[in-house]
Amino acid sequence: MQLQFRNAVERDAEAIVALVESAYRGESSRAGWTTEADFLTGQRTDAEGVRADIARPESLIRLALDGDGRLLACCHLERTGPACYFGMFSVDPARQGGGIGKRLMAEAERLAREDWGCTRMEMTVIDIRDELIAFYERRGYHRTGVKKPFPYGDARFGQPLRDDLRFEVLEKPLEDAR
């Protein structure tokens, strides 16, 4: 499948929110394997937050579109010194497992390395997501052992259904990504 990549603009915000929500929350997310519906309800992101990510310096949302311009996947990138934060990675649940996400990850890593001069990628993953962490490990990311608290009580990140959620930082050196 031919993919086109481009940076999101403000008018893409609603479509990005719909994609992210479909990949992680509610019944539609169960069509794919990235669902968080068993331990989080409510929103994962909102248009205001997406627009802020698009507008902030050294931050962008990269889109993957099919040949007809339909949004298939997205990710948020933010340069933080020598590192690039990789987040909000979402693939249409009906298209997961077909290589779209791997291709978008490679594009994100290329952009971080070549355009921003970053030497590593970093991300946070809810640490109970063993299958998702294994996916990232197969792509060269490793667990750092650094844990960050889940933002309990902040509805912008969803409503937790359990009280043991926390994030773990994963990272990948970009020198090895070539």
Mean pLDDT by 10 residues, the chain (178 residues): 95 97 84 82 92 97 96 98 96 93 97 97 95 94 96 88 95 74
* Alpha-carbon gap, residue 61 to 10, rounded angstroms: 10
Cβ–Cβ under 8 Å, residues 171 and 145: no
Q: Any idea what DSSP says for residue 32?
A: S
In this prediction the pTM is: 0.92
Instruction: Give the model's pLDDT for residue 123.
Output: 97
Domains of the chain: 4-177 (3.40.630.30)
Cβ–Cβ under 8 Å, residues 141 and 98: no
Task: Please choose, from the candidates 54, 58, 62, the residue with its C-alpha nearest in 3D space to the C-alpha of residue 78.
Answer: 58
Cβ–Cβ under 8 Å, residues 132 and 96: no
Residue with tokens 């309990």: 152
**The tokens of 108 are what?**
């994100």
Task: Please choose, from the candidates 113, 107, 111, 116, the residue with its C-alpha nearest in 3D space to the C-alpha of residue 4.
Answer: 107
**The tokens of 25 are what?**
């929350």
Instruction: Give the model's pLDDT for residue 33.
Output: 78
